[in-house]
Structure formats: structure tokens, C-alpha cells
Amino acid sequence: MEKKFLTLTETTKYLGLSCATIYSYTHNKIIPFYKLRGRKLYFLKEELDNFIINEDNHVKSKTQLENEVLNNIVLGGE
């Protein structure tokens, strides 16, 4: 059975980020998290997946950008 919630250590491994980065993200409310009785941090795996695939994190390829430009020229910016 797959775990729904991950600990801080598990989250760092899952995202490939340092503890300091995760703490910074939680402090700045960049990443969703849960705090059990004001102590340990927990992260819902589904929310971490959504955080990763968030449109703000998506970097388009050169081909995607070129296609968007071409579509804008052909469609007149519609």
C-alpha cells in the first residue's frame, strides 16, 4: 500500500531538494504542507505531484515556443 503522506526526509528524496529548500518553500508558502501539532511537517504526495506539474514550473521547449509564435502570427494573436 502506497503512503499518502510523506515526512520531510521522504519529501526531500521525492523532490530531489534539500531540507533547507523545503523549509524555505514552507516558510514562504510555496509548497503545500501539514504541520502536526505545530511540530513535524508532512506532505500529501498528491499535492506534491500537483506542485511539480504546476504550469508555473513548466518550461517550454524551443519547439513549443516556436509553434506558439507561429500560431500567434497565423491566427493574428487570437
Question: Whole-model pTM?
Answer: 0.71
Output the pLDDT for position 42: 96
Residues 6+ apart with CB under 8 A from 15: 22, 48, 52
When pLDDT is cut at 50, 70 and 90, the band that residue 25 belongs to is very high
CATH of 5-75 among 1.10.287, 1.20.120, 3.30.1460, 1.10.1660: 1.10.1660
Cα 34 to the center of its chain, rounded Å: 16
The rounded percent of the chain whose pLDDT value lies above 70 is 97
**Cα gap 26→28, rounded to integer Å:** 5
Map out the domains of the chain as residue ranges.
Answer: 5-75
Higher pLDDT, 73 or 43: 43
Residue 78's pLDDT is what? 55
Report the C-alpha gap between 26 and 45 in whole angstroms.
15
Q: Supply the mean pLDDT for the chain.
A: 89
